[in-house]
Chains A and B, each alone.
Chain A
Amino acid sequence: MTDPAAAIAQLIALAGITPDEDELQAMVDALPVQREAVAALYRVPGVRYEVPCLTWNAIP
């Protein structure tokens, strides 16, 4: 995957938030595990054509 430190730096810059160095490092350390967990969500049987559990009504 992309270098976690570079990826987090980009995401943080895009969001505009300003974490401290140790907070940033915790996010960098967590990123590989997070991405693997997200990838596993695409391997769930039956999910390929499922609709998300989001509700939306035309009348507010």
Chain B
Amino acid sequence: MTTYPSIADAAAALRAGEVTSVDLVEEALANADRLDGELGVFIRRFPEDARAAAQQADAELAAGQDRGPLHGIPLGVKDIIATVEAPATAQSLVLDPGWSTPEGDAPVVARLRAAGGIVVGKTSTYEYAIGFPDPEKPFPIPRNPWNVEHSPGGSSSGTGAGLPAGMFLGGLGTDTGGSIRIPAAYDGITGLKATFGRVPKSGCVPLAYTLDHIGPMTRSARDCALMLGVLAGHDVTDPYSSQRPVDDYAAALTGDLTGLRIGIDSLERTGDVADPGLPGVIAEARAVLVAAGAEVVDVQLPLYEELVTAQLITMAAEAATYHMPDLLTRWHDYGRGARAFIGGGVAYSATDYVQAQRVRRVGQQAVAQLFTRVDLVVTPTSSTGAFALADTKPTRMFEVMRGLHTQYWNSVGNPSLSVPWGFTATGLPLGMQITGRPFDEATVLRAGDAYQQRTDWHLRQSPLVQTVAA
């Protein structure tokens, strides 16, 4: 639990002289001391580097040098992204420790630091952003702060679990099929996969070149807007990175949805498992969006199953290609989950891969047609709460991770935000997924913020965190 529930609140308090960056960092470090052993959030922590950076941040503010809303804010970085403090591991024995040394800070990390952000540590992840944590490997097993018998989701597990526990106020995740939005939904936080190419992804271990994204994970949509404003923009080291100008995302947060048409697709028709309380959660959210000024209509996402299939083929084939040299020689150094999924990529042919890319093209056109009728689309991020760790089957990942609705948007590339919108009957968070037109993150964040101005799901604290704080 933190004194300040969000980056925006902490930034205001810093400038009002109510708190220092040293205070914020010490509180984050103390929360990590209390709960990291239980939640498995960090691969590595950098307390001394963070303290030194906080002292510098305070000195700069005192001297009138203000780097913006992330100045002096403690942040966590998923450990498949390079930072100068220590080699990235990708939570794997296989990744060459020398990989990240020449990388230095990834462009996204360099941007956060230039904006005054303070990296307190590297957070746990599914191995190579895909494989369930393997208890036989020397890495943490991340756990859900709302129920430690459940997964925090992945693959950005540590960033997802650490935020509600107050171990940092914002963090970086990556998202190839939902790895920002799934933990956001499971852990009751807010996470944004921006448009493909909006945020440069060089300096990050790839999972699938044409699906990977780096993005912000925070408590609120407003905080995501603040972080995206720093992260977005072209970088020459990422050939997929867009040269489009970056919008003022924070300025878009008017709290008002008047003039917007929002389509809702419950995705019940997919026949996948769903929490029995989900229809009520959707109905309540619909009412909130209407109260904020939006016109809400029902829609159906086109080519849903086909685009999910295309995402899966693309991810499996691109991942298998990247990993093939190590799969051949170091099979058992990978965890069981990672090698099962990545190795399974050999079951797809080159023809399958190219056909998947043709379907993605058709899908983009169909989705663009849908967005001529609506400005945003809302679906559940996941139709269920987090799965129990006891149910984990490393070699059968998709039998466990049921009810997910994130992969579709990686297939076509649109920006997609997950915000908390309720709980299961057993007290596990559920997430609403808000998606917009390509490069229209401003409208997506505007809707998320307007929703959060009228609800408090994103401010709830888990019983574990409350107990430890007390």
- Report B428 CB to chain A, min CB distance, Å: 27
Chain B residues with a Cβ closer than 8 Å to the other chain, count: 34
Q: Are B309 and A37 in contact (CB under 8 A)?
A: yes
In the assembled complex, A6 has its CB within 8 A of some CB on chain B: no
Q: Are B359 and A23 in contact (CB under 8 A)?
A: no
Q: Are A11 and B339 in contact (CB under 8 A)?
A: no
Q: Are B359 and A18 in contact (CB under 8 A)?
A: no
Residue of A nearest to B360 (CB): A53
From B305, B324, B339, B348, A34 is in contact (CB under 8 Å) with B348
Main secondary structure of the interface of B (DSSP, over half): helix
A22: chain B residues within 8 A (beta carbon) = 395
In the assembled complex, B283 has its CB within 8 A of some CB on chain A: no
In the assembled complex, A50 has its CB within 8 A of some CB on chain B: yes
How many A-B contacts if CB must be within 8 Å? 90
In the assembled complex, B173 has its CB within 8 A of some CB on chain A: no
Complex CA–CA separation, A11 to B324 (angstroms): 14
In the assembled complex, A1 has its CB within 8 A of some CB on chain B: no
In the assembled complex, B355 has its CB within 8 A of some CB on chain A: yes
In the assembled complex, B328 has its CB within 8 A of some CB on chain A: yes
In the assembled complex, B364 has its CB within 8 A of some CB on chain A: yes
- Report A36 CB to chain B, min CB distance, Å: 10
Q: Which residues of chain B (341-395) have a CB below 8 Å from chain A?
A: 343-344, 346-348, 352, 354-362, 364-365, 395
Residues of A whose CB lies within 8 Å of any CB of B are: 8, 11-12, 14-19, 22-23, 26-27, 30-31, 34, 37-38, 40-42, 44-47, 50-54
What are 23 contact pairs spanning A and B, CB under 8 A? A11-B347, A12-B346, A17-B327, A17-B328, A17-B343, A18-B331, A23-B340, A26-B396, A30-B344, A30-B347, A31-B347, A34-B347, A38-B355, A40-B305, A40-B306, A41-B306, A41-B309, A41-B358, A46-B362, A50-B362, A52-B354, A52-B355, A52-B360
Given contacts A26-B396, A45-B362, A47-B359, 15 further A-B contacts (CB under 8 A): A15-B346, A17-B331, A23-B343, A23-B395, A37-B309, A40-B306, A41-B309, A42-B355, A47-B358, A50-B361, A51-B358, A53-B210, A53-B358, A53-B361, A54-B357
